[in-house]
């Protein structure tokens, strides 16, 4: 059986090894991904983002339980930050999802950002594809704890939950211009704590859709005492039902594939340019000319754009 | 292309002492490893599933309850049974000298006894994973 066929049959060992190869940038993994492409695009992809400590992982665990009760197969990609100093990482999200460790229909993958800035790792888009091809009905992407600008998840997920918690005070202000805009549903978690109502009311401005004026759902949850989860899952289900409309589905797929292609092109270009500076005499001459003040960096950029060898 | 090393630090069985496991996890992080920490009270089955899903190079088991002769070999057996015999398993905790030989025969590559310094463990993992 080929690797692609094994993945389509849901073979866990093959899936996890291929994901490892992708994370490690092994070029041969791409051949399998090409074969898997036509078996992807139909799963529900739910993004969960928000500040560190807001309760994203615990909430994810409750959502896994919800989908497992419906006998849905679940994939989770949980992203945690890579240390800029050692290159190491502690991947601690799945500690909150322990109860699913013995369930063979729940596949949880922890990944580190490895230098990516958008709140995801470079590999997430391909990991999602593998999970889709392996027949996961729902795939939950949990981003790193984010602040303002880490919004890549909105380009990949069909729906995004932005999770916050009371007591974060000014942080809500701080994120107003950034991730609040990408939410489909707002979650005020830890709603048993003082200030939950205030946190929810402060979100009302951001919850008004810029275009339609509709109010996006603001759901209060308490993951420890399991409150508000039914309301949350209902909002998520309503959100995914919209994808039964072909126009909405196509709009989403266009966004997703455009992001993926743009990201990959940019990645390859960055690598090509980096290599050219090391190996190509034309690039070296340009750099020397700038250093000697015979050329300005703006002209250098134009020249490099003309000389970059696209393969 | 150089692979990043990945490791699962696992707490198995009824043992609530995870200070050591957390210190170890952090030391591995500082040595450049990607570390998945299992959390407390995992069954051997759960540890094996995690190790496979996360495609780690090694599993480091920490146990202070005295049940290592039962639980460590079971983790090794399950990981092998699930086809991931490339994963190196090692362990440590309050383990007496006299149990080391048995554990090594049961699929555990190395046992670190009380008092072992972090450097020794990290170096071993660096060379053997």
Contact A95, A134 (CB under 8 A): no
Rounded-to-integer distance, Cα A209 and Cα A214, Å: 5
- CA distance, residue B114 to nearest chain A CA (Å): 24
Mean confidence (pLDDT) of chain A: 91
- CA distance, residue B102 to nearest chain A CA (Å): 28
Residues of A in contact with B39 (CB under 8 A): 94-95, 98
Is the residue at B17 inside a domain? yes
Chain B interface includes A88 (CB < 8 A): yes
Residues of B in contact with A108 (CB under 8 A): 50, 53
Q: What is the pLDDT of residue A261?
A: 95
- Model pLDDT for residues A116-156, shown as the tens digit of each residue: 888 899 999 999 999 999 999 999 999 998 866 778 898 89
Q: What is the pLDDT of residue A174?
A: 47
Q: What is the pLDDT of residue A172?
A: 55
Is the residue at A2 inside a domain? no
Q: Average the pLDDT over each of A198-207, A281-290, B29-38 and give the range with the smallest value.
A: A198-207
Q: What is the pLDDT of residue A307?
A: 82
Rounded-to-integer distance, Cα B116 and Cα A88, Å: 22
Chain B interface includes A17 (CB < 8 A): yes
Rounded-to-integer distance, Cα A114 and Cα A222, Å: 32
Is the residue at B1 inside a domain? no
Q: What is the pLDDT of residue A43?
A: 95
Q: Two tokens at A30? A: 């791409």
Residue A237 belongs to domain spanning: 43-244
CATH assignment of the domain containing A192: 3.40.50.300
CATH assignment of the domain containing B67: 3.40.50.280
Last residue of a domain, one of A195, A215, A244: A244
Residue A168 banded pLDDT, cuts 50, 70, 90 = confident
Is the residue at A81 inside a domain? yes
A183 and A269 together in one domain: no
Is the pLDDT score of A176 beyond 70? no
Q: Beta-strand (E) ranges in chain A?
A: 44-50, 74-80, 89-91, 106-112, 138-142, 159-164, 185-188, 218-220
Q: What is the pLDDT of residue A148?
A: 65
Q: What is the pLDDT of residue B121?
A: 97
Is the residue at B115 inside a domain? yes
Per-residue pLDDT of chain B (129 residues; tens, 9 = 90+): 579 999 999 999 999 999 999 999 999 999 999 999 999 999 999 999 999 999 999 999 999 999 999 999 999 999 999 999 999 999 999 999 999 999 999 999 999 999 999 999 999 999 999
A47 and A100 together in one domain: yes
Residue A182 banded pLDDT, cuts 50, 70, 90 = confident
Residue B22 belongs to domain spanning: 6-128
More confident residue, A308 or A288: A288
The percent of residues above 90 in pLDDT, for chain A, comes to 71
A115 and A54 together in one domain: yes
């Amino acid at each position: 059986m080929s690797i692609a066929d094994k993945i389509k049959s849901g073979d866990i060992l093959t899936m996890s090894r291929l994901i490892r190869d992708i994370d490690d940038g092994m070029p041969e993994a791409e051949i399998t991904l090409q074969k898997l492409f036509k078996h992807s695009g139909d799963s529900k992809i739910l993004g969960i983002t928000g500040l560190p400590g807001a309760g994203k992982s615990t909430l994810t665990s409750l959502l896994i339980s919800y989908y497992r009760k419906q006998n849905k197969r679940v994939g989770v990609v949980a992203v945690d930050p890579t240390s800029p100093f050692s290159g190491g990482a502690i991947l601690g999200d799945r500690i909150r999802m322990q109860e699913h460790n013995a369930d063979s229909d729940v596949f949880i993958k922890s990944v580190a950002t490895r230098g990516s800035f958008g709140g995801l790792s470079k590999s997430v888009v391909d990991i999602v594809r593998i999970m889709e091809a392996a027949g996961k009905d729902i795939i939950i992407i949990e981003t790193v704890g984010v602040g303002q600008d880490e919004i890549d998840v909105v380009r990949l997920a069909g729906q995004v939950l932005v999770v916050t918690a009371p007591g974060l005070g000014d942080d809500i202000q701080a994120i107003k211009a950034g991730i609040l805009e990408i939410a489909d549903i707002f979650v005020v978690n830890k709603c048993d704590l003082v200030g939950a109502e205030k946190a929810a009311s402060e979100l009302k401005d951001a919850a008004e859709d810029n275009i339609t004026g509709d109010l996006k759902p603001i759901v209060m949850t308490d993951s420890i005492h399991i409150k508000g989860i039914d309301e949350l899952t209902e909002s998520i289900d309503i959100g995914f039902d919209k994808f039964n409309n072909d126009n909405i589905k196509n709009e989403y797929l266009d966004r997703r594939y455009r992001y993926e292609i743009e990201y990959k092109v940019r990645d390859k270009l960055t690598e090509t340019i980096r290599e050219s500076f090391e190996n190509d005499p034309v690039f070296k001459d340009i750099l020397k000319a700038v250093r000697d003040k015979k050329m300005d960096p703006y002209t250098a950029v134009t020249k490099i754009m003309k000389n970059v060898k696209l393969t | 292309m150089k692979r990043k090393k990945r490791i699962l630090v696992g707490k198995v069985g009824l043992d609530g002492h995870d200070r050591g496991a957390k210190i170890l996890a952090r030391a591995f992080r500082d040595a450049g490893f990607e570390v998945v920490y299992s959390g407390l009270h995992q069954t051997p089955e759960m540890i094996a599933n995690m190790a496979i899903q996360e495609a780690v190079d090694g599993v480091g088991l920490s146990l202070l309850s005295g049940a290592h002769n039962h639980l460590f070999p079971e983790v090794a057996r399950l990981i092998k049974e699930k086809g991931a015999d490339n994963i190196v398993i090692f362990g440590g905790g309050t383990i007496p000298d006299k149990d080391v030989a048995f554990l090594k025969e049961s699929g555990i590559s190395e046992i670190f006894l009380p008092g072992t310094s972090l450097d020794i463990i990290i170096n071993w993992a660096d060379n053997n994973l």
